Amino acid sequence: MTEWEKSKSGKPHVYNDEMEKMHKEAKKLYQEYNKTTDEDEVRREEILSKLLKKKGKNVWIEPTLHCEFGSNITIGNDVFINCNCILMDNTEIVIGNNVLLGPNVCLYTANHAFDPVERANAICINKPIYIGNRVWLSGDIKVVGGVKIGDDSIIGAGSVVIHDIPSGVIAAGNPCRVIREITENDKLM
């Protein structure tokens, strides 16, 4: 099994030259994307089709965007990703349909070894992140690998999400915890 295969399957691995080359290719693409303007919709589509594993319809990503590889990112339909988002896709990141990511949202699938000797030897382990449908991650949120956020949930600004969040709740804090369920009383109209 290659280091890349280990990386994607959640096994301990060492970030190697092959992965560095892939990262540099992704970096060229996202840096090019970050230079575009709203009028460059066709060019943005071309870049994202090369960068991402899969992208649904009606996806809008405000520059700046940063990622590790891009090839591990799946984005559903009708998704808005605001400025300065970091998607560290060392393994799979799946973003559902009708999702809103606020500014400065960071999704981190990678983790360094806890053991200091292993960490000094660049040993890492990755865990996927899954974001359900109709989820809103407001601003300045960090989500670590291994987390699943259920459908219809809201994560409050400034949260650090280190555990799964169930469907249909408002959660916030550091660490992020469920505040309450979303109910019919939350409807604006």
Known catalytic residues are: 112
User: Which helix or strand (DSSP H or E) is residue 141 part of?
Assistant: none
Angle at which helices 17-34 and 41-51 cross, to 10°: 170
Q: How many residues does the chain have?
A: 189
Amino acid sitting at position 157: A
* Per-residue tokens: 82: 């605001």
Measuring CA to CA, how many Å separate 147 from each of 63, 69, 102, 162?
25, 19, 18, 7
Cα–Cα dist 119/87, whole Å: 22
Give the other-Cβ count within 10 Å of 171's Cβ: 21
Cα–Cα dist 96/171, whole Å: 18
Cα–Cα dist 123/7, whole Å: 10
